[in-house]
Chain A
Amino acid sequence: MKPATVRRTDLRYRIGLNLRAVVGRSYPRIVGANREPSWIFFEALLPLLGIAAYVFIYQSFGARSFAAAAGNTTAQAVISANTNALIASVVLGGTMVAFWLNVLWSMASQLYWEKEIGNLQLYMMAPMNRMALLGGMAVGGMVMTSMRAVSTLVAGILVFGVIFQVADPLTLLAVFFAALIALYGLGMMFASLYLLWGREAWNLSALMEEPIFFSSGFYFPVGGLFRVPGWGPIIAIIGSFVPATFGLDALRQLTLGSTAFGGQLWIFDVKTELYILVFMAVLFLILARYSLRYLETLAKREGKLTSRHQ
């Protein structure tokens, strides 16, 4: 075997080391996870059922309002446009659900599973930066989930006949990637917290599914919550801490037009939401770095980096 080289510590070496680590850790998600074609059914087509439920409800509401406005063609045109916009919102939100689930189950609670199968101690013993480990998980998760999300989106467009009108594709891409980075930054921050919580992580992830679907407006424009008197704005503000809330709001404006729903159901304009997403992305990444460093030390002190049986 080729003999060991002198161990380097310079910046170039460290950058190379951490880039390799990102590629290495993302590999199982990008290549491994697509080896089983069953994902097409379970992760691309099955989510359509959830989307379909909301679509049918909105269609029935729309049909009732349409009938009630018989004779008033202007009102019927508005009802029809709003119904179509709602359906498009649901398809877009249902697609983004894949990212939130990936953040919860494959980012936040991932280190707990890694500990259970014995990988965590091998990761923590390696010289790579811990952010490279989380970065690899995030990059792999984004690529893998994007494939699933696009499949769901295409299926949704074909099945429900949704039409998106993208006037500003560059801003759309900027919002999409800013939202993803902020979302996975949040996941990276959670991952470090979950490092200490162990089994409770599972319950916490389960707890953050449906309530976040609601408060972040995955299946309706979240601006509508601000129009609900009393608790509505509070729920919407809490939901706004999840980057998906602003991300979805901006994506809907960019794909449906900011005049959809009479322009009444958006939180802020697209530009402001993009700035907020960029701020969140930077903030969560910095918090993730420091919390992981602190919690790693704590876990080493308490003996929680490895399972008891290992």
Chain B
Amino acid sequence: MPYAVETRDLTRIFAGKKKRRIRRKRATGEGEDHLGPVTALDQVSIQIRDGELFGMLGPNGAGKTTLIKILATLLLPTSGQAFVAGHDVAKDPFPIRQRINMVSGGETSGYGLLTARENVWMFSQFYGVPSKVSKGRIDELMHTFGLWDKRDAKVRMLSTGQRQKMNMIRGFVTDPDILFLDEPTLGLDVNAARVIRDYITNWVRSQKSKTVLLTTHYMAEADQMCDRIAIIDNGKILACDTPENLKRMIRTETTFRLEVDTIRDIASFSSMEGVKNFSHTDDISKNRTHLTFILEDEGPVAEILSTITSQGKKVHSLQKSEPTLEDVFISMVGRGFE
């Protein structure tokens, strides 16, 4: 039985623009090599089973959206193959398009003069959904997503969250077998994000044949929702497993989180013995730096604290914690998502 989604050594290279390269090169003095083609996906091979909620976790620019665009038949691979519902995306897109839909976070699609209900209905017509069936599904989904009160509001009058709920309804109204969700909760408030996450999870769990490929850079979202997760960075798949197994991979290591006064000199941490990897983020509003260390054992903690205090910086908190997916990422890549 074929996978819902399968890629084999999938590579996508975007050619740089020559004129722009040359202009930028002149302006910055950078070498042309640095400005050359971008490899968005580098020999990506994944298999997603029917009925699976599969997560693709990675920072901005990792290649998540490029992968979804190829699977959604919007972009051709440079090399390698991709199959959706057993059909080659490059050679046989029609049966794929009947079975898929896609929703992206921050989408601004639709027409402002139409109502939310009309917009979703319009998109359902491109999939041949009979009007009566479509309208019935729209009403049901509008109730579920809490958008019923806004069904007759023009799209341009909807808030970001309401608009994203409408986009989600657009994704579900065609009753796809495989749904691609590209950062679906991007920029949403906690409640709106929760409603969307709950619906997606229930949708997959309650029907055997429904598959979701979810890309996100929210660790908790991936951890909470996904059956399996692939971690992607710079177009390469670094690991692919269940969230538990991914975290187990670094459970032999120790994770420490520190909140300290804003610290500039962080280079010395990387050369410390016993420090496997670390990441840092600055909180400018509080004048603090958050440090996460992946250590082989607890040995280097004293030296880390000493380094910080020797710079005249105060340690506000120190916490030893269970590994998260972000720690897995830091352990593999040597930096966080920020």
A residues engaging B (CB < 8 A)? 1-4, 7, 9, 13, 16-17, 20-21, 23-25, 27-28, 31-33, 35-36, 117-119, 121-128, 133, 297, 300-303, 305-306, 310
Contacts and interface: CB of A to CB of B under 8 A. Distances in A.
A306 B69 contact: yes
B73 A125 contact: yes
Contact of B74 (A17, A27, A119, A300): A300
Interface in B131-157: 131, 133, 136-137, 140-141
Contact of B99 (A7, A16, A300, A303): A7
B76 interface: yes
Contacts of B126: 20-21, 24-25, 122-123, 126-128, 133
B74 A126 contact: no
Contacts, number: 120
A125 B177 contact: no
B125 A20 contact: yes
Contact of A125 (B74, B118, B125, B207): B74
B305 interface: no
A117 B114 contact: no
A119 to B, nearest CB: 5
Contact of B175 (A3, A16, A124, A303): A3
Interface stretch (B101-109, B224-232, B319-327): B101-109
Given A125-B73, A303-B14, A4 B175 contact: yes
A261 B118 CA distance: 51
Contacts of A32: 111, 113-114, 118
B109 A13 contact: no
B329 to A, nearest CB: 24
Contact of B133 (A2, A117, A122): A2
B122 A118 contact: no
Interface in B69-123: 69, 72-76, 94-95, 97-102, 104, 107-111, 113-114, 118, 121-123
Interface of B: 14-15, 65, 69, 72-76, 94-95, 97-102, 104, 107-111, 113-114, 118, 121-131, 133, 136-137, 140-141, 170, 172, 175-177, 207, 209
Query: Across chains A and B, which 4 residue pairs bring their CB atoms closest together, nearest first?
Result: A24-B125, A17-B128, A126-B126, A32-B113
Nearest to B65: A310
A284 to B, nearest CB: 23
B251 to A, nearest CB: 38
B118 A300 contact: no
A133 to B, nearest CB: 8
A122 B123 contact: yes
Given A20-B131, A310-B104, 19 more contacts: A1-B141, A1-B175, A2-B137, A2-B175, A7-B99, A17-B128, A24-B121, A24-B124, A31-B118, A32-B111, A118-B107, A119-B109, A122-B170, A125-B72, A125-B74, A125-B97, A127-B126, A127-B128, A310-B107
Contacts of B124: 24
A7 B95 contact: yes
Contacts of A9: 94-95, 98
Contacts of A2: 133, 136-137, 175
A13 B130 CA distance: 11
Contact of A305 (B14, B75, B94, B127): B75
Contacts of A297: 76
Contacts of B121: 24
A1 B140 contact: yes
Contacts of B113: 28, 32-33, 35-36
Contact of A127 (B104, B122, B127): B127
A290 to B, nearest CB: 18
Contacts of A31: 114, 118
Contacts of A1: 137, 140-141, 172, 175
Nearest to B141: A1
Contact of A27 (B95, B122, B140, B207): B122
A126 B97 contact: yes
A121 B74 contact: yes
A306 B109 CA distance: 12
A88 B47 CA distance: 69
A127 B98 CA distance: 5
Contact of B102 (A24, A27, A28, A125): A125
A115 B237 CA distance: 30
7 contacts: A4-B209, A9-B95, A20-B126, A24-B126, A28-B113, A32-B113, A122-B170
A292 to B, nearest CB: 14
A234 B105 CA distance: 53
Contacts of B125: 20-21, 23-25, 27
Contacts of B176: 4
A118 B108 contact: yes
A47 B100 CA distance: 45
A117 B127 contact: no
B128 A16 contact: yes
A16 B129 CA distance: 9
A122 B109 contact: yes
Contacts of A306: 69, 74-75
Given A13-B128, A28-B113, A125 B100 contact: yes
